[in-house]
């Protein structure tokens, strides 16, 4: 048996919708992108959402609209993918990394609070594996630190405190305390990269909570300018007869979504609730199978939260990284691909060069030391899942 780490879930419906776009005569940002944006905003219970070419671009544009740049600090977790932190560097601000809490995949909120200075302009919590962070706690901390905050533009003063910009690359469809991911943080980015739950092959969505005193349309228009060369009309508007003339209001960026990719998303979104259910079934099967086994698993469902079920993270009790790598190799010999989420940022060259040292992040290091991520996707069959469970048990015990 061969079980890849991921097989994207693409049905005939997606193929048909993409072909329809290819035949339509309109390939780049246009009617399908606008349609997907409306549908995703409805899905997230928000007023507006913009689709861009990646979640990284979405988070970066959120920081840009907030006017965050050189001299500012932005806090994120050490236990994440580089994109959560590299965007801070892209805008010229200083990344401040915080350790995870002991035996948790989430940031240590006490340390996060201590890391706040008068330069802190945003916090980027990461909804790892699809599990939403404790936003009540995060908002109460940033509200408590209002006295340190000074605003540098109208978006910053309308928010009036450190902005919460969620990296929800994994978490489309997650809920916490009755709220959907997207309607909780000030800004929320989702990834539609091929390895994520919901995919347009590459792509991302940025949504936001209504900001008092600022029109959602103004934010949407500004995001369009930032993502499309600062051009006052998009390609579709320019095509209308007699409408060739446009202005460029800033030397901005290029990270718009195309209609070909949006078409994939439109078809995928119809199937997405079913895909989330399938992920839940698989997680329940894994959870039951590992109950009496010496592993700890990331908790995806609880009384007041439900994850999007993106990653099945296992921690093997009593093992170190080398021993876990041996287990992963044995799994590979049995045809099962596994992965590690994540090697903490301070262990990567770019972040070492920025002066980060893993010794200052003992909890993140400890999680990394015995973490193995199992395959989890809607195309896995029950038989695949049984095979993975049996073999993980065998490989850990042998
Ligand atoms: C995948 C991922 C991203 C980046 O998503 P892109 O759409 O590839 O830009 C950001 N953060 C996390 C945690 C991710 O896993």
Q: How far is CA 398 from CA 1, 251, 326, 368, 392, in A?
A: 20, 60, 11, 22, 10
243 and 331 within one domain: no
Calculate the average pLDDT of the chain: 97
Ligand 1 midpoint to CA 126 (Å): 10
Burial 293-319 (b: 16+ CB within 10 A, else e): bebbbbebeeeebbbbbbbbbbbbeeb
φ, ψ for residue 145 (rounded to 5)?
-105, 15
- What pLDDT, on the 0 to 100 scale, is given for residue 20? 98
- For position 241, what pLDDT does the model report? 83
Ligand 1 centre distance from Cα of residue 147 (Å) = 33
Distance of CA 9 to the CA centre of its chain: 19
Residues 217 and 355 in one domain: no
Tell me what percent of the residues of the chain surpass a pLDDT of 90: 96
Protein residues with CB under 6 Å of any ligand 1 atom: 54-56, 80-81, 83-84, 126, 167, 169-170, 191, 193, 204
* Residue 236 in this model has a pLDDT that exceeds 90: no
The answer, yes or no, to whether residue 18 has pLDDT greater than 90, is yes
The residue out of 248, 265, 282 marking a domain boundary is 265
Q: How confident is the model at residue 49 (pLDDT cuts 50, 70, 90)?
A: very high
Q: Report the share of the chain in percent with pLDDT over 70.
A: 100
Is there a domain that residue 1 lies in?
no
Distance 245 CA to ligand 1 centre (A): 36
The secondary structure element, H or E, covering residue 269 is helix 259-289
pLDDT over 90 (residue 238): no
Given a cut of 90, whether residue 102 has pLDDT beyond it is yes
Beta strands, E only, 212-334: 295-297, 301-302, 305-306, 312-316
Same domain, yes or no, for 39 and 63? Answer: yes
CATH code, 156: 3.40.640.10
Average pLDDT over residues 29-51: 98
Crossing angle of helices 55-65/216-227, nearest 10°?
120
Q: Please enumerate in sequence order all residues whose Cβ is within 8 A of that of 284, keeping only pairs 6 or more positions apart, or say none.
A: none
Query: 196 C-alpha vs ligand 1 centroid, how far in Å?
Result: 8
Question: Tell me: the pLDDT tens digits for 146-190?
Answer: 999 999 999 999 999 999 999 999 999 999 999 999 999 999 999
Whether 6 is covered by a domain: the verdict is no
To test ligand 1's pocket by mutation, which of 90, 193, 376 has the most ligand atoms within 8 angstroms of CB?
Answer: 193
SS3 107: strand
The span from the CA of 300 to the CA of 298, in Å, is 6
Within a domain: 2: no
pLDDT value of residue 244: 86
Secondary structure (DSSP) of 309-323:
---EEEEETT--HHH
Catalytic residue flag (residue 196): yes
Which residue, of 233, 265, 297, is where some domain finishes?
265
pLDDT at 280 over 90: yes
Q: Are residues 235 and 296 in the same domain?
A: no
**Is position 230 within any domain?**
yes
Whether the per-residue pLDDT at 257 is higher than 90: the answer is yes
Q: Which atom of ligand 1 is nearest to the CA of 84?
A: 11
Separation of alpha carbons 301 and 281, rounded Å: 12
- Assess whether 88 and 162 both reside in one domain: yes
Looking at residue 228, what DSSP letter applies? B
Name the nearest CA neighbour of 319 among 259, 248, 371: 371
pLDDT tens-place string over residues 282-310 = 999 999 999 999 999 999 999 999 999 99
Cβ count near 397 (within 10 Å): 9
Among residues 116, 98, 115, 120, the alpha carbon closest in space to that of 107 is found at: 98
Q: Are strands 312-316 and 295-297 parallel, antiparallel or unpaired?
A: antiparallel
Number of domains comprising the chain: 2
* Triad 75, 358, 149: Cα angle to 5°: 15
Final residue belonging to a domain, choices 265, 291, 323: 265
**Structural domain of residue 354, as residue ranges?**
272-397
SS3 state of residue 97: strand
Cα distance between residue 144 and residue 85, in whole Å:
24
pLDDT at 309: 98
Q: Are residues 108 and 248 in the same domain?
A: yes
Count Cβ neighbours within 10 Å for each residue of 129-163 and write b for 16 or more, e otherwise: bbbbbbbebbbebbeebeeebeeeeebbeebebbb
Catalytic residue (one of 32, 121, 180, 196): 196
């Amino acid at each position: 048996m061969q079980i890849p780490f991921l097989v994207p879930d693409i049905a005939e419906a997606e193929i048909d919708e993409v072909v329809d776009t290819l035949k339509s005569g309109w390939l780049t940002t246009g009617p399908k992108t606008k349609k997907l944006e409306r549908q995703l905003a409805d899905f997230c219970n928000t007023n507006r959402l913009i689709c861009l070419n990646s979640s990284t671009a979405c988070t970066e544009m959120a920081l840009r609209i907030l006017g965050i740049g050189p001299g500012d600090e932005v806090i994120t977790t050490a236990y994440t993918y580089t994109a959560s932190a590299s965007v801070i560097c892209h805008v010229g601000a200083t990344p401040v990394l915080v350790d995870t809490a002991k035996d948790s995949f989430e940031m240590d909120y006490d340390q996060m609070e201590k890391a706040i200075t008068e330069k802190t302009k945003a916090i980027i919590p990461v909804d790892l594996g699809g599990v939403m962070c404790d936003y009540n706690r995060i908002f109460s901390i940033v509200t408590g630190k209002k006295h340190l905050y000074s605003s540098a533009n109208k978006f910053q003063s309308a928010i009036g405190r450190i902005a919460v910009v969620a990296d929800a690359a994994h978490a489309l469809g997650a809920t916490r305390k009755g709220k959907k991911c997207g309607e909780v943080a000030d800004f929320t980015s989702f990834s539609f990269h091929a390895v994520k739950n919901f995919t347009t092959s590459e792509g991302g969505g940025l949504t936001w909570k209504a900001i008092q005193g600022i029109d959602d349309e103004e934010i949407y228009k500004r995001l369009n300018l930032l993502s499309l060369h600062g051009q006052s009309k998009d390609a579709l508007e320019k095509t209308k007869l007699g409408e060739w003339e446009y202005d460029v209001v800033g030397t901005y960026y290029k990270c718009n979504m195309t209609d070909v990719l949006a078409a994939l998303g439109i078809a995928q979104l119809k199937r997405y609730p079913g895909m989330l259910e399938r992920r839940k079934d698989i997680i329940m099967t894994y959870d039951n199978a590992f109950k009496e086994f010496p592993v700890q698993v990331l908790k995806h469902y609880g009384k007041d939260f439900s994850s999007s079920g993106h990653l099945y993270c296992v921690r093997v009790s009593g093992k170190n990284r080398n021993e876990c790598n041996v287990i992963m190799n044995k799994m590979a010999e049995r045809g099962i691909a596994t992965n590690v989420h994540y090697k903490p940022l301070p262990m990567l060259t770019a972040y070492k060069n920025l002066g980060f040292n893993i010794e200052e992040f003992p909890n993140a290091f400890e999680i990394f030391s015995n973490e193995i991520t199992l395959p989890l996707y809607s195309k896995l069959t029950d038989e695949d899942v049984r095979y993975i469970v049996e073999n993980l048990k065998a490989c850990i015990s042998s």
